[in-house]
Amino acid sequence: MSACRLLTCCCLIGLVRCSLTPRSPATVRILSPRKYAVLHTDTVQIIYRVEGAKVEESARMFVNRSMMLETHTTQPSVTLAGMAPGVCELTVKVEDKDGKTVAEDTTWFLISSAAVEGRGAGGGEAWEEGRKNLVIPWPAVAFGSDDWGRIADTIPIFPRQEDLERTEKGGWDPGAWGRATVEQASDLYRLFDMVEGINEGCREEQKLVLSPYFVVGGPDHKRMRAMGCPDGESCSYAENLLHNTTGAPSSWPYCRGDLRRLYRSGFEQGVWHPQYHGRSHFDVRAWVKYLREDETCRKFFEQGMVFCNDTEEEEEGRGGQLRSLLSEHVREHAIPGVSENDPEVINSWMEEGLSSFLRFWGFPPLVAAMPHHACLSSSGDFLFERGFLGLDNSHLGPPLLSSLRVGFEPCCLPLSVSRARELVRWTVEEQDGLVNVQVHAQNFHSSSSNGTEVMRRIREVVELVLWMRRRYPRMVFVTESELMQLRAGGFSREVWGDRVVYRNHNEEEEVKLRIDLHSELYTPPRVLAREEARRKMEGGAGQEGAEEGEEKEEEARRKKPWLVFVRRIQYGTGRRESNEEEAAGGGRRIFEGLQISL
């Protein structure tokens, strides 16, 4: 009896407590489209869930910050039709009767150009308008992107947004360009989804391809501490290189994990084709010196970042030294015995960086973008001897070519889209028609920005690409090395993981060339990994003999170059205009082991 009474009493107390508990606030969650989804239709079903809303509260839906509709909070889904291609920011807000927001959720998704009927055409009138002054019939555009793989610079590269905010509170204003961070896996997935999405349904020659300029190394702070940095006499520079570690972005304090497989997947999928940027992106010799004497430099070293107090200008009549870490390839204010403009030292440093690039990617770079566009004048001959065609936005003169950039930086420059459009028009309609657009990696990084800001930048990139396709239906999207080759002689060859692409933009009907087998131009990642493992092994005579036998077998498998005639390109015709010839003594046709794409 007493047990029953006790139970009843507890139940009653529970009911009283429930009645006194305040009601939970409303919540809203967008279920579809999922964040960063790539959709290929202009009709989008939006599914969301609202919990805890009052009867008088309503749900409002915003697309790109413009209100699309108002509905009941109980309605589970809404269908929006006629959505324009590009990045969409979708927000669902729950508002009370006074219009005050009590709950909201935001997602971003991309509608590809495949959503538009007649997606390959468009822009006819605009094209005819601009066509009058064209120098070449097939304008070409490359999208370069500096600073991939970079973890250090002359100013801090922040691991997270809170690190940036802490530095700002400490009194240093980094400005727009100083809010840089390092890519993470989600940034790469989002970027690759964006490129594949806006390429869906496009003609082959109008598919966007990026040319990321990679920094192949960066400081290993933990190893440097173990070597006595910043104070010890034994303190020296230690680095992580891309080809023989998990990469600089994986090191502390960035801790991005091993991104190498993702990097390579972008190349294998045809999303991007990398070129060379640098080995460190800053003057490592000056940095080690400043670690012993510069308070700011030491402070950021403890946080795993690179920075130097570069405000001490050289004063007239005094021996003051401009403290600067700019750049790894040239020193404006030399530090005697530490960092001087010795071509032999600088070229040797660069040689190791180029070697790391080749050993990771499997092919040599043809174009370089020097960090901060600074290098020794003698570096031109050094790079040319190693097969480089030219420099992006640097001018060393012949024999290297150079190209000017269309600066397109939604992260840092106001009115980026409108300014870029004007420069593209000028290049296509009044100059040579070869457009070099630069959009830094910082535009795609999210760790020092909020999601809204990142998607705003991506939206502007998508807008510029779609505008180019509409205005110039004959515009060809190429890599940076292809653009440089077209500038040199109207003809290009690009090496991919599974094919070789040739383009003939010459006035001549036909170009005769020699073609090497694809296996002589590109080394797959599995072979690179095997070769790297061999280098690390302490090989005996038996191992050396086995390697020698494999090398002979590989050499025997390779055949003489083939001859092929590549006619002037005719995009959009659906034809492959090339003649096949038998190689003298070869006995096989040219397409064996090689794909030619026109």
For residue 329 the two structure tokens come to 């390839």
Q: Is 562 helix (H, G, I), strand (E, B) or coil?
A: strand
Q: What does the radius of gyration of the chain's CA atoms come to, in whole angstroms?
A: 29
Q: Is the pTM of this model over 0.85?
A: no
CB atoms closer than 10 angstroms to residue 595: 11
Query: What span, in angstroms and rounded, lies between the C-alpha atoms of 103 and 113?
Result: 33
Q: Is 513 helix (H, G, I), strand (E, B) or coil?
A: strand
**Of 317, 252, 239, which is closest to residue 282 (Cα–Cα)?**
239
- Name residues of the chain where pLDDT drops below 70: 1-23, 72-76, 112-137, 310-323, 507-516, 538-598
Sheet (strand 596-597) strand order: 491-495, 500-504, 596-597
**Of 274, 58, 46, 302, which is closest to residue 149 (Cα–Cα)?**
274
Amino acid 116: pLDDT:
56
Strands in 53-100 per DSSP E: 58-63, 66-72, 77-80, 86-95
Q: Where are the domains of the chain?
A: 26-111, 124-313+321-487, 500-536+553-597
Please state the separation of Cα 182 from the chain's center in Å: 11
Amino acid 580: pLDDT:
36
Give the model confidence (pLDDT) of 408-420 as tens digits. Answer: 999 888 888 888 9
Contacts of residue 549, defined as CB under 8 A and 6 or more positions apart, other chains included, come to none
Query: What span, in angstroms and rounded, lies between the C-alpha atoms of 592 and 16?
Result: 83
Amino acid 492: pLDDT:
86
Distances (CA, A) of 433 to 429, 476, 487: 7, 10, 10
Q: Which residues of 149-174 are buried (b: 16+ CB within 10 A; e: fewer)?
A: bbbbbbbbbbbeeebbeebeeeeeee
CATH H superfamily, domain 26-111: Immunoglobulins (2.60.40.10)
Segment (H or E) for 418: helix 416-430
Amino acid 316: pLDDT:
45
Query: The domain 124-313+321-487 is classified under which CATH number: 3.30.465.10, 3.30.300.30, 3.20.20.370, 3.90.320.10?
Result: 3.20.20.370
Helices 295-302 + 284-291 axis angle, to 10: 100
Q: Taking a C-beta distance cutoff of 8 angstroms, is the pair 458, 164 a contact?
A: no
Beta bridge partners of 67: 62
Contacts 24+ apart (CB under 8 A), 585-594: 585/560, 586/559, 586/560, 586/562, 588/559, 590/515, 590/562, 590/563, 590/564, 593/517, 593/518, 593/519, 594/499, 594/500, 594/515, 594/517, 594/518, 594/562
Give the model confidence (pLDDT) of 63-78 as tens digits. Answer: 888 877 777 666 667 7
Amino acid 562: pLDDT:
42
